[in-house]
Structure 1
């Protein structure tokens, strides 16, 4: 008697599973997410499967631990924000510093394709290839102490600091304050 064989090839099961899960809002997957779709194959076969999916243009590595499923056709330019939310899902994170201040019109120049967030996790910069860089800056602040100064940004899937908090974070993190338009700050406060 022959051992039981899956009815479809692993690559087809992978694509069918990703097609079922993916959308224009959910297009980033971790290796654990992907592995759950083909749990019956060996580690070596799984690595080969990821490589094949990348060669076929279906999966694209964004950074360590995160893949973009290209057929989902993300409709927004928010990949870095969505990647930050997925990468640090177990931490307290919020958009702050230069990114929050630029979006509020307080800073006119920030590097393109670079976002800054405060995080309860360690400080780090994560290169995301052609999409840019995510910078996490460690904070010891507790969510309950900042709740009144944060707004949830549904599009980004992250909390966002209101300008006064982002300014405080800039000072605490010893960031360059020269690009701040102080007249714009006074209008917001």
Structure 2
């Protein structure tokens, strides 16, 4: 695919607010005849700075007008597509003011998928596996209009204790504030 045509296709997706893609998504963005042709196009676009590859299997339209605070969450969502994932542990507890430290450049995510840590140019994503039932997860997360839902305060605390994380930063007074 020609570079100008690729930019045009990516800009169309960007206008609809979509600028983070999985490798599989790229087969729908670039209608190449072969996987080899698509891989060559992706490689050329990354080299030209039109696409970024923040993590294996994830591409980001570098010229996007939508890049911002949600980019790291979108990358996380793309990495664990098809699994239930939500912000929890230190990231959620920091938002609630329950712990004093603010995890800068780090996102802690609970997922029904596999655990792992991904270092991206936008920050580090730490996935922690949960065996909780989907119905239990859905009853304890909140939709805040962001790409990933966020655990309720007590669910994030429970997750922190369940996975054996350090609890000495917890402000007990903030736990009981609403």
Whether these two folds match at TM > 0.5 is yes
8 Å contact from structure 1 (residues 13, 37) kept in 2: no
CA distances 1:41-68 after superposition (whole Å, capped 9, x unpaired): 4444333322221222210111011111
Cα offset, 1:119, TM superposition: 0.6
SS of the residue 1:146 aligns to = helix
Secondary structure of the 2:177 match is helix
CA deviations over 1:86-124 (Å, ceiling 9, x no partner): 221200111110000001111121431111111111111
The separation in 2 between residues aligned to 1:106 and 1:161, in whole angstroms, is 13
Equivalent position to 1:149, from 140, 146, 149: 140
When Rg is computed on C-alpha atoms for both structures, the one with the higher figure is 1
Distance 1:43 1:149, change over 3 A: closer
Q: Does 1:106 align with 2:98?
A: yes
TM-score scaled to structure 2, two decimals? Answer: 0.90
Tell me if the contact between 1:10 and 1:38 (Cα under 8 Å) persists in the aligned partners. no
Q: What TM-score do the two structures reach when normalised by structure 1?
A: 0.85
Render the CA deviation track for 1:113-143: whole Å, top value 9, x for unaligned.
1111111111111111x21111111111122
Q: Does residue 25 of structure 1 match 2:17? A: yes
For residue 73 of structure 1, the aligned residue among 65, 69, 75 is 65
Q: Distance in 2 between matches of 1:167 and 1:40?
A: 47
Number of matched pairs: 178
> What residue ranges of structure 2 are gaps of 5+ in the alignment?
none
Unaligned runs of 5+ in 1: 1-8
Equivalent residue for 1:168, pick from 158, 161, 176? 158
Match of 1:35 in 2: 27
Of 64, 89, 93, 2:56 maps to 64
Give me the CA root mean square deviation. 1.8
